[in-house]
Structure 1
Amino acid sequence: MKRDLDHFLEIGDLDGLIRLIDELCEDESWSDLEDVAIRSRQANERGQQLWPAGDHAEHRLALESPGEFAARAVNRDAQTFGLAPLTEVAASSHTWEELSLDLNSGPLRSLVIHERVFRGEDLTEVEIAEDPLGLPLVLAGWEQSVEPPDIKKYEVDDPSPSINNLDSFPLPKPGVVAHDSGTEALRNLVQTWTSQSNGRSAAVRVYGDATTAISSLGVNEVKAKEVSISEMWGHLVWAASSGGAYGRRPGCAKGRFEAWWCAVALAGLDQEEVWPPLTLELEEALTEMNWWIWDDGSLSKGWSLRIAVEDPVDGLSWALTAEDTRE
């Protein structure tokens, strides 16, 4: 293997390195694969554009190798561009117990914990020294039906949630548009689409129902349906976890954080000084609200999120439209 690796690095043979990575994975030669990852990165630093081989080797280590090697790939955090964060990749195929002993302390360790929680592991007994997210370490009831993405060797299979069986609704005149922490949090769900890709988004808050909020986005015709908070949660987390057309995928841990942040803002609990709010308190607030998915007939072939939320207690509604496409 060493002779092949030396040769491929010397002549800058990216295809040869990718074939070598496949062979090493098939043979479960994880130490050699780790060598490919590290030396491809070093070659890139010398001016040879071999970072795709280094990225792919790190991805395969995080996905397929035993916990010790997967954790070391996470610790190196050396990808230039990857299909998904290595924290998410490693957590998709390893339990916390398999990874925990070899992960360094710090934010990456915390993200792996939250990725495992997203996949249903109860880690409430785990202590986190440095936690950038601060979310509960067990899923709330409304989160448990969300399907995680299927991370594979060469792709991430994470289709958008279904939006079937929408009904036509008449739209009233637009309301008086305002912006608040809720509209900001809605747009933050798709910030990767808009800041790193071709995406665009708009969000409004109005007095009135969901149709008034949708109309205030400049929409003339709409099909929509009311959904449960559990179903809506799948849409929120999917959008916030996705990189859209060209952005770097943030991963499900960060996607879950943005969904929580959005829910807290819409529920009016963001003025409290405690993060996160009590799960029961947030659940009660969310179940009092009405959640809508809608379509104005302009759904692109790319990524889209069109939702509306009603707070019948305060007479407020919010609506978001967002999309991203490949050129």
Structure 2
Amino acid sequence: MPRPGFLFDPSKNSLFYLVLFMTFIVLGLTASEALSGRYSIIGSVASFLGLFVAFQSWKAADDASRNTDKALTQMHQLAEETRQLVERSTTVEEQIKAAVVTISDATRELYRGFQPILLAMRDFLEESKGSEYLALMTDSAAIGTFYARHHRPELNQREMRALTNQIHDLLLARARDAREFYLATLAADTPAADNQLPTRDQYGRLHHFVQGVWQQFHPEGPVSGEVWEEHREEHLATLRQIEETFQTLSEHPQQRAAGLGPHQQVPVLPLQLFLRFDAEAHEPLRALVVFLGQYNLDRVAEARAMQTTDPELVRAFISMFESLTSLDDNAAYQQLRREFPL
């Protein structure tokens, strides 16, 4: 709203009115002498005080009006920001709905149950032979072994052992023939202090994940040290085999030249990913997404997975993988992406 002029704005004319009141006092005193005391000093002072009180009341009322105007302006701004926030929330909700529809439309196959998912993993690795880019994110390098061994009700151990051995062999084969190969897992060891060897993890990320899976099948008690150590050693042995294959037998000089190893660690595991890019394939981008992570271990007995070849969806999962492994902050990796875009 427009502000009043100088004479009616007490925030600007205080000094002017103070001088004016003092002038009235002087005139009052002069008049008092001229009129032989009929207009006394007390009267002059009283007039001044009356005018001053009136001025202060006017100023206080004006300040209150200013504060009210300011509060109303802030309320209007808050209302506008709230309206914009509601609009943005609605937009985000619509984007989430659209993403769900996109995922549903892009899903080529849906897998339910532990054994069908392991079969899908095996087939994915088998079909990824000679890929330009292969990125896997799982809880452990010993893929599927802990579930197969400790699942309740008990699974056919001969079939499960044959299946997990096939996955293990294909994992090493892809570490050998992929141009870029990355396997991201949860850490099995606690961080080492300076000048000390890593200690065996009793509270680390992989241990917590294994503990969560174990309790779904064995709610009567925690995983024993013997069971945990068996799985930990299997996981580390597989990592050593992958590293050896990568360094001595692999066909990815660009990745080695960039100083990027095959094994990455992730701080969290919201789900599990198998991601492939092969420019010569009929469908270059493919993803197998297993909806089993540390936030829904209560669903381990009812695991779900999907496979998609939708390019944008697969690229979104690749971005998730890069973010969780911090490869998106690695200059050497970013240089590879500029040279070999996906």
Task: Sort the TM-score into its range (normalised by shorter chain).
Answer: under 0.3
Which of the two has higher C-alpha Rg?
2
